[in-house]
Structure 1
Amino acid sequence: MALLGSMTRHQTAKYPWAAMTHLTPSALDVIMNPNGGIAQLSDGIARQINRWFREDWWNSANLVATDFILGNNIIEESILANRKRYICRQHSRMNDNPNFY
């Protein structure tokens, strides 16, 4: 999977990069599912995208670009991830410096 490889390679990147979850259908996708289209394909992976960014990549995703944002919760997951990152950073600072407060 290209996204998994990209997330692994960029896990410790110190520069902006984007996790792209766009769908590009093949000719076979169009022929085998002429009435469903890309929106239906996207709906099929929306829950996976939510889970990946909630459980696996919340601390390593930098920018996320996705199709059909109304079909997934990537905005809410991004807000929660940023809150978790903030709490983790604060906790790390407290542990590194006993005089933090």
Structure 2
Amino acid sequence: MSIYRPKRSPFWHYDFRIDRYRFSGSTKLRNEDDAARFEEARKVDAQIIVDRIRAAGAEPLTLKAACDRWWNTYPVGRSKSPGYGHLKLPHLMIAVSAAEQQ
């Protein structure tokens, strides 16, 4: 069971993962047992979503994929971002790739 009640909230929240997909939010329920049943229903819905994503052949967006997408959208010569972000991005990608391999 992955429900919890934040200190300053009267409502129970859920937080769980299926594969590499994270699902979280408020149950908007005050009773712990009701919140647990709500979370179980969300898990069933989440599994259907993950199954559909897999059937479509899609994968979660990794930081490396996001960097690649950004790099291809804003090539060095015509980058709209100020500063020297295009010089730092390759170093960030190398660091992320090394961390993912560990």
TM-score by length of 1: 0.31
Greater fraction of residues in strand: 2
Greater Cα radius of gyration, structure 1 or 2: 2
Structure with the bigger RCO (C-alpha within 8 Å, sep 6+) is 1
TM-score by length of 2: 0.31
